[in-house]
Amino acid sequence: MIDFALTPELKDLQQRTRAFIAEQIIPMESDPRQGAHGPEESLRLDLVAKARQAGLLSPHAEPEYGGLGLSHVGRAVVFEESGYSPLGPIAMNVFAPDEGNMHLLHAVATHEQKERWLRPLVEGRIRSCFCMTEPAPGAGSDPSLLATTATPDGDGWLITGRKWLITGADGASVGIVMANVPDVGATMFLTPMDAPGIHLERNMDTLDRCFPGGHGVLRFQNLRVGPQDVLGEVGQGYRYAQVRLSPARLTHCMRWLGAARRAHDVALDYARKRQAFGRPIGQHEGVGFALADNAMDLHLARLATWHAAWVLDQGGLGLQDSSRAKVIVSEAVWRVVDRCVQVLGGQGVTGETVVARIFADIRGFRIYDGPSEVHRWSLAKHLIKGTATDTMP
């Protein structure tokens, strides 16, 4: 039997995080240092400073690097609270891709690599990016199509290829680059993003604007990396990708659950106050049923997230578990925010509330880290083979 009762310490941390977001971060949502490709670096640093002063910076990181060493269930609680504001995950340094990259570096990197890159990441002094996705005919949902190559050159390699949809590339200090070493296989390399051979071709215009640095198109032209830059072992890139992606899918669920809850709270408040046909609109079934469906979807998403986090804390969480949670939550929170826009009516498509911003930001979650269709396809294959797993106790 899973006991989801919060410990006194975790409940206190939840309340401290909730108060921090409400009192210090939400008032900054109208800060002008935000554009089509995310918050500017000066704003990010100001937000990080607030979280550092509140003792809430990088709570997921190990204590030796200044974090709180939260369990995955603890992260589920705190990350949801951070997601209540579009700026919350940035302030607390738990946003993507940095949070997932910190997890990967902690699991795989050498001591020297951790001191060079992980420590300043945890401290919020630098940003990072994860360079795997490529334009067609390269790797996307099918990672086996990896086209970027790392050709042996002396004691190192020369990386050549193109990547796109690389979140945070513009302004990142370090990149994790996936490239194919001939006759060996996919390999991850660490590189300073200002190294010769890395070219930011452009930032892509996207629906969302919540990620610092936006989403870049990168060209690698004879980027020189040495043996000290290999992350983990040569040829093990696909295995390390799953080390990163399985928990990263789950932490996306946590943050976006907080955003959907914020949208619901705004819509619920509006439904209580806005009058139409002689009474508050929330008393009309069309609106009331939408709010009720929101409450059920939020409950479903939280159960799916917390259950997957609990399994991960027990040493589990395979690909099926993360696929299941990712689809359940990404589809549920999208339904919630879409209903909120409808409840708000004309207000829902304006910048008068935060809902339109959340609506645009959250849509991509059904695509990145594997679109819902690919996860459903994977789960279906296991069902047909009779190899589907059920991690309920």
CATH code assigned at 26: 1.10.540.10
Lowest mean pLDDT among 183-192, 245-254, 293-302: 245-254
pLDDT of residue 318: 64
Last residue of a domain, one of 235, 259, 280: 235
Contact 63, 106 (CB under 8 A): no
Do 200 and 247 reside in the same domain of the chain?
no
Lowest mean pLDDT among 4-13, 14-23, 126-135, 204-213: 4-13
Phi and psi of 169, rounded to 5°?
-60, -40
* Position 37 pLDDT exceeds 70: yes
Contact 17, 85 (CB under 8 A): no
Whether 108 is covered by a domain: the verdict is no
Do 254 and 373 reside in the same domain of the chain?
yes
Last residue of a domain, one of 200, 235, 270: 235
pLDDT of residue 121: 98
Better-predicted residue by pLDDT, 5 or 349: 349
Local confidence band at 387 (pLDDT 50, 70, 90 cut-offs): confident
The predicted model gives 65-87 an average pLDDT of 96
pLDDT of residue 317: 65
Q: What is the tally of structural domains in the chain? A: 3
Do 246 and 381 reside in the same domain of the chain?
yes
For residues 278 and 298, give the distance between their C-alpha atoms in angstroms, rounded to a whole number. 30
Task: Return the bridge partners of 279, or none.
Answer: 276
Whether 224 is covered by a domain: the verdict is yes
Do 362 and 262 reside in the same domain of the chain?
yes
For residues 156 and 29, give the distance between their C-alpha atoms in angstroms, rounded to a whole number. 45
- Output b/e per residue, 194-223; b: 16+ Cβ within 10 A: eeeebebeebeebebbbbbbbbbbbebeeb
Q: How many CB atoms lie within 10 A of CB 298?
A: 18
Q: Which residue range(s) make up the domain with 80? A: 8-95
pLDDT of residue 315: 82
Do 245 and 144 reside in the same domain of the chain?
no
- We report the CATH number of the domain holding residue 221 as 2.40.110.10
* Residue 120 parent element (H or E): helix 119-122
Contact 375, 320 (CB under 8 A): no
pLDDT, tens digit, 9 for 90 and up, residues 170-223: 999 999 999 999 999 999 999 999 999 999 999 999 999 999 999 999 999 999
Do 381 and 262 reside in the same domain of the chain?
yes
pLDDT, tens digit, 9 for 90 and up, residues 357-382: 999 999 999 999 889 999 999 899 98
Do 254 and 371 reside in the same domain of the chain?
yes
For residues 370 and 320, give the distance between their C-alpha atoms in angstroms, rounded to a whole number. 12
Sign of the dihedral defined by the CA atoms of residues 373, 375, 378, 384, in that order: negative
For residues 336 and 342, give the distance between their C-alpha atoms in angstroms, rounded to a whole number. 10
pLDDT, tens digit, 9 for 90 and up, residues 327-339: 999 999 999 999 9
Do 134 and 57 reside in the same domain of the chain?
no
* Position 144 pLDDT exceeds 60: yes
pLDDT of residue 174: 98
Last residue of a domain, one of 72, 95, 118: 95
pLDDT of residue 5: 83
pLDDT of residue 388: 77
Do 272 and 181 reside in the same domain of the chain?
no
pLDDT of residue 51: 98
pLDDT of residue 347: 96
Better-predicted residue by pLDDT, 215 or 66: 215
pTM of the model: 0.95
Whether 113 is covered by a domain: the verdict is no
pLDDT of residue 391: 65
Better-predicted residue by pLDDT, 36 or 321: 36
Whether 104 is covered by a domain: the verdict is no
Q: How many CB atoms lie within 10 A of CB 179?
A: 26
Do 34 and 148 reside in the same domain of the chain?
no
Report the mean per-residue pLDDT for the chain: 95
Q: Measuring CA to CA, how many Å separate 299 from each of 4, 246, 295?
A: 13, 22, 6
* Position 1 pLDDT exceeds 70: no
Whether 103 is covered by a domain: the verdict is no
Do 171 and 86 reside in the same domain of the chain?
no
pLDDT of residue 18: 98
Local confidence band at 319 (pLDDT 50, 70, 90 cut-offs): low
* Position 234 pLDDT exceeds 90: yes
Do 190 and 79 reside in the same domain of the chain?
no
* Position 323 pLDDT exceeds 90: no
* Residue 176 parent element (H or E): strand 174-181
Give one DSSP letter per residue of 96-113, joined into a string: TTHHHHHHHHHHH--HHH
Whether 380 is covered by a domain: the verdict is yes
